[in-house]
Homo-oligomer: A and B are copies of this chain.
Amino acid sequence: MRLKLTLAYEGTAYSGWQIQIAGGKSLPTIQGKVEEAFRRISGHRVTVHGAGRTDAGVHAEGQVCHADIDENLTRIDWKRALNACLPQDIRILESVAAACGFHARKDARAKRYAYSLWMHKDRPLPRIRNFTAHCPPLDLEGLAAALPFLIGRRDFASFRNGGDETSDTVREIHSIDCLPGYVAGLRCPDDWPVLTLVFTGSGFLRQMARNLSGLLVYTGLGKISPERIPGIIDAGDRRAMPGPCAPAQGLSLLEVIYPEPCFSPQSAPPAV
What residue of chain B has the Cβ atom nearest to residue A89's Cβ?
B126
A120 to B186, CA, bound (A): 19
Copies in the complex: 2
A167 contacts across to B, CB distance below 8 A: none
A122 to B268, CA, bound (A): 12
A83 to B120, CA, bound (A): 14
A115 to B10, CA, bound (A): 22
Asked if B271 and A8 sit within 8 Å, CB to CB, the answer is no
**Interface of A (DSSP majority class):** loop
- Range for the number of chain A residues in contact with chain B: 20 to 34
A3 within 8 Å of B by Cβ? no
A76 within 8 Å of B by Cβ? no
Asked if B120 and A193 sit within 8 Å, CB to CB, the answer is no
Binary B-proximity of A88-132 (CB < 8 A = 1, otherwise 0):
111100000000000000000000000000001011111101010
Residues of chain A in range 119-158 having any CB-CB distance to chain B below 8 Å: 120, 122-127, 129, 131
A184 within 8 Å of B by Cβ? yes
Knowing A189-B185, A193-B272 are in contact, say whether A89-B129 is a contact too (CB < 8 A). yes
Give 27 A-B contacts (CB < 8 Å), ordered by A residue. Answer: A8-B125, A8-B126, A8-B127, A9-B126, A10-B126, A10-B127, A59-B127, A83-B122, A88-B124, A88-B126, A88-B129, A91-B125, A91-B126, A120-B271, A120-B272, A122-B270, A122-B272, A125-B272, A183-B186, A185-B188, A186-B187, A186-B188, A186-B189, A187-B188, A191-B271, A191-B272, A193-B272
